[in-house]
Each structure stands twice: as structure tokens, then as C-alpha cells.
Structure 1
């Protein structure tokens, strides 16, 4: 029986040996693993133990050390047994010492900031006691050096082109208290959007230990892509296969367009997020004949009637269209939440953002109503932000307006609403007079879309003859 008590005493003694583990971290920025054998180790932790002390560099001057024990510590004992000494002056630092986590953690911070760029030693002597009146096995010490102070960070300027792949820097050059220049981490208040309209934008960041904001001016220049490379008279096509059949084959259709002086086609590619609509697979028909157009020197664009009901899926098919064509035009119409893009400002932003992020250098336009004030539920401003040109649908006969009233009102309203992208109108190829085309031609737009090959009337065909370029400037 006596031998059993002796074994039990030794076992308890081994279990309750008082030990210290120092966890190096900023207060409030670490999670702790328990020191005893029943701890759950969720992730690797960074420890400094009595057997493997390490020196710490670039320590903030207001650093709070957290020291962890396997028994709750007596506060008065900790205040007497824990010291920090400046190794250069041998002066003892006045400390704030407190307990947390039911006494298992001792928090050590200076009452006044440590000196910059100085060496210190933190010690825990063997007189430290737990609340169970047990002492730690041996002394512990750890060296550390404080960081230099950031004295200044110069304002910075950078210029990029709209759509560039650019992110704000993660470090900035800072002048330190000893006169050296060092890269230090910076956290910005917001990220940059390279699709923002051209202009200068100021971003502010913060550097730890520096009480002034870091300023970075980003100048976004207009995109250097050549939008005018697709600016010519373009024939729009809705159902390509039907037109191929109507003209007796793709070669005959292409010959017809060439005879009209047209070398630019804009062909339907999608219906919302789908490549198909009304029994026609627009994407398949386009891919079937796009090579024929290109072999004959055509500029080949795509367009789609947009819904934005499934933004990610619709963005994906638009990206696919851009990968297979020279440009893409959003057909942004509709006067309800079901048909078209009306009232879908957030979805329009999401689609345009995805498309631009994946195709930053693509040429993209949008086509919508010419009188913007009549259709304020159309997200004109979103399209103007992300697109390179506008193609308002100036169908004056359908509107019951004169050519001049339609075009002049369109121009005034687009300007009033801040829609500042180049205007390449789309005009109707049916139910109008040669005199109207003469009036339109006098406006000398750089490019004109013709709606459409599917509905082209004999009056238009006779008027244009072999001079498709007559609609351009």
C-alpha cells in the first residue's frame, strides 16, 4: 500500500511540473494551442521554448508579448519575475504585466515604447510561481530587436491604360529613422478598377507604425486599342443560315455584300445566356461560316440579345463570342424585368465586369434606344463605362420622326446623360426613302450599322448600289 502511494505521488508530481512556453505574436492577432497533452492542435503553431529560444527581429516598439504556462500564474509573482532589459544601456524597462485566459497567459508590454532599432532581452526567472505555489523548473530568456521607425513615405503616381491588368502594390518604399529606405507593407482602403473612365483616382493606404496616409494617384488613360479598326459600314445579320439559304450559299451571300461595297458583318451569336433561340442555334451557324467571311477579308463582329438573368452564364457566352470574332455588341433593350436588360443595373455591372476582366483588350459596343430619357430603366451608364462605342438604333421611320429630329435629339440626350463613347448609329434598311439616306449620310458618322440583311428592302439596295462606304465619313 505504501509503495502504491509513492508511485501515485510521483505520477502527480510529473503531471503538475510547472512549465513555460512562449508564443510570439501580436496581442489580439493570434490563436493559442494549449500546452498540456490534452490540447487540440488545429494547426502548426510558432513556439519558443526553453530548449530552443530564438532572437526576434523587427519587433514593433509597442509590442505585447504573450507568455503561456501550463498552470495559472500568480500575478504578483509574474510582476517580480518577468523583466525586459535594454542590452545596450543595461536599463530595465518599466512593464505592464497582466493575466488572461484564466491566468494561463501572461501579457507583457512596455509602459513607454521600446527604443527604436535596439536590442532587448526578456527573462523569466525560476522564482515565478503558479497559483498552486509551484515554481518553474528553470530560467527562460529571449532576445529581440525593435524595428526602425517609418519617418516618411513619398506620394506616388502611376499611369495605366483602361483595361490594363494592374493591382495596387503590396509594399511601398519608406524612409526609416536611420535614413535608410526600406520596403514596408501597405494596406489600401479600396482596390483599383481599371475599367473606370479615364481620369486620375487617388488611393490611400496605411503602413503599420506610420500615422499618415500613404497616397497613390492612378491615372487611367484611354485604352490604346484601335476601336476605329472595326468602324465601317457593317451589315447586321439575325439568322445567318436562313440568309445563306436565301442567297443560294455562303459564297453568293458574300459576293452580294462585296458588290454592295460592304466588308463588315455583325452576326447574332447568342440569345441571353443561350446560343439558341426560336429554334436557331446562332453560335453554331456563326462558327460554320466565320472562316468564309475572314478568307474574303471581312471584319466579323458578333451581337446578342441580352437578358442578364444568369449573369455568369451570359458573360461566358459573350467571352466565347469575343474569342471567335473581332468585336461584340450588346443588344440592350427591353421594358420589363423579364425581356431584355431593363432595371438590371447590378446584373449589367456583373456581366460587363466579368467580360472585361477576361477580355481586357476586346472591342465591345452596345446598342440601345436613341432617346435615353424615354428609357431610363436601361443601364446606359454601365455600358458606357465598359464599352468602347455606342450603336443607338436610329430607326426614324419606325419612330415616326424625321432623320434630323432623331439624330439631333439622340446626340443631345447622349451628351446630357454623360454617354461619351463614339457613336456608330444603326439605321433601318427597310420602309424608308432615298432622301432620308441622303440626309443621314450628311452627318458623316465614322461608322454605320445596317439593320438588317434579313429585312433589307429594294429601296435601300438600290440606294446603296456598290457604295457601302457612302454612309461613312
Structure 2
């Protein structure tokens, strides 16, 4: 499958435009975003619920975005401790919202010994429950730095790869994205890249506007049809009055 355009990841809906779904949708449309990726689960639990009432915050946002013609994907941080439970909540949430695609955020927990089995169990159950849904992996940018991560177990059943090309403490997005593509082309299976760039600050570092443009232009020059950023929550903090 092919994903096109710019996307933005949302972590916690209340931290995005004070939770006003119409403002989020209007700004996404004004910013030219083709799709928004909303966190739908953490481990084996549903995510983005009101902490006081337990109300599900996701359906109103999905409706507002779709009214603007914006695609909606779900993303999910997994730990591998309960792979069948994590797959089950993913399947339930995706079917509940009817989202366009699903993104697996798997990171350091899967570098531990024995996690290939957990990854395979999760992916088999996930794909069985979502046989026609586009699925993407969102993990480390350079596989050579993470040789114990079960790349094949995840990518075998994925359609896309959305590596986190965060050039923290540096200012070279083009170099880092080019390296990410080269490294993933060297492992099997290769899946088309839709890279995820940084839209956050860490300590005294933040990506500049020119670097974001360079990241997007490099993605286009490398033949990538889409790119995402993490996250709406962070990039809209501390705006000037």
C-alpha cells in the first residue's frame, strides 16, 4: 500500500489544542496534513480516555478529522509482556474506530533476550485479526545500532516502515534519513519507508524550521511518498503569546 503526504502523531488528545477536536481538525487541514496518527492503546490497555469520567476521547476527533477529508491512523506502544493481550486491544480499537491504518511503536523492551517469540506471537495474532489493514512499524532509525531487535518478526507482517529519524543533538536530517534508508535496504524484508521526524524539543535541542524542510525534501528526493512527525503535543507547547 502507499501512504502519501504529511502526518502528525498525537500522543495525548487533551494536550493538543486543549483537547478541542474542531481546532485540531481545522489546524491539520490548514497545515496541509493528509493524515493524523492518534495513540489508541498502551500495552494491553485502551488509551486517550478522560481521566475523570473514563469517556473515550478518540471518536469525536476521528469524526472532526474525517469531516475535513483527513485520514486517521492509530498507533500503539507495545511492551511484549502480554503479546496476545496487546494484539487483542489493537484489533478491538482499530475495528471500533474504523481507522485507515495501524502503527506499532516497539522500542527498547524488544531488545531484551527472547523477545523474538513475543514479537512473532503478537504479529501473528494482529495480522489474523486485521487481515486487510495497512500495518506499519515505528521503531529505531538505524538497525545496525539495534541488532537484537526482532526486525524480521515485525516487518514480515508489516506493509510499511516508519522509523524514528530523530536527529537529536545534531542538525543533519538529510544525512540521517539517507542512512536510515540505506540500512533498511540491507535487511530483509524491506518495507517502504515513511519516516517519522522530530517535532519536539529535548533539553536545549530542537529541530529548526530549515531542518524540517530538509527532512521533507530529502524524503521526497529518496522516493518516499509520505513522512510523519512526533508529536502534536510537543510542537505546540510554549507558543509566543
TM superposition score category, shorter chain reference: 0.7 to 0.9
CA deviation after TM superposition for structure 1 residue 263, in Å: 3.3
Mark the structure with the bigger radius of gyration: 1
More strand by share: 1
Give the aligned partner of residue 385 of structure 1.
156
Residue 302 of structure 1 is matched in structure 2 by 74
Confirm or deny that 1:451 pairs with 2:230.
yes
> Which of 238, 259, 270 is residue 11 of structure 2 equivalent to?
238
Counterpart mapping for 1:28-427 below 5 A: 227-228=1-2, 230-245=3-18, 249-276=20-47, 284-323=56-95, 324=97, 325-334=99-108, 340-343=109-112, 344-396=115-167, 398-400=168-170, 402-427=172-197
* 8 Å Cα contact 1:273/1:308 also seen in 2: no
SS of the equivalent of 1:386 reads: coil
Distance 1:356 1:236 in 2: 22
Tell me the distance in 2 between the aligned counterparts of 1:279 and 1:346.
Answer: 34
Q: Distance in 2 between matches of 1:404 and 1:234?
A: 19
Q: Which has the higher contact order (CA 8 A, sep 6+)?
A: 2
For structure 1, the residue ranges without an aligned partner over 5 or more in a row are 1-226, 335-339, 459-473
Question: Is the 8 Å Cα contact of residues 319 and 355 (structure 1) preserved in structure 2?
Answer: yes
C-alpha separation in 1, matches of 2:94 and 2:9: 16
For 1:407 and 1:373, the matched residues in 2 are separated by: 14
Q: Answer 1 or 2: which has greater helix percent.
A: 2
Alpha-carbon deviation of 1:296?
A: 2.4
User: 1:95-141 CA distances to partner (integer Å, 9 max, x unpaired)?
Assistant: xxxxxxxxxxxxxxxxxxxxxxxxxxxxxxxxxxxxxxxxxxxxxxx
In the aligned structure 2, how far is the partner of 1:400 from the partner of 1:295? Answer: 39
Q: Which whole-Å deviations, capped at 9, do the CAs of 1:151-209 have from their partners, x for residues lacking one?
A: xxxxxxxxxxxxxxxxxxxxxxxxxxxxxxxxxxxxxxxxxxxxxxxxxxxxxxxxxxx
Quickly say closer, same or farther: Cα 1:283–1:331, change in 2 above 3 A: farther
Tell me the CA shift for residue 287 of structure 1. Answer: 2.8
Partners of 1:374 and 1:347 in 2: CA distance: 21
SS in 1 for 2:84: helix
CA RMSD of aligned residues (A): 2.6
- 406-415 or 363-372: bigger deviation: 406-415
Counterpart secondary structure, 1:454: helix
297 and 350 in structure 1: CA distance in 2 versus 1, 3 angstrom threshold? same
Verify the 8 A CA contact 1:314 1:351 in the aligned structure 2: yes
Task: Report how many aligned residue pairs link the two structures.
Answer: 225
CA contact (8 A) 1:270 1:305 kept: yes
Distance 1:242 1:432, change over 3 A: closer
Structure-1 separation of matches of 2:49 and 2:64 = 25
Alpha carbons of structure 1 residues 374 and 263: separation in structure 2 relative to 1, 3 Å = same
Map 1:422-433; keep pairs closer than 5 Å: 422-430=192-200, 431-433=206-208
Contact 2:16 2:236 (C-alpha < 8 Å) held by counterparts: no
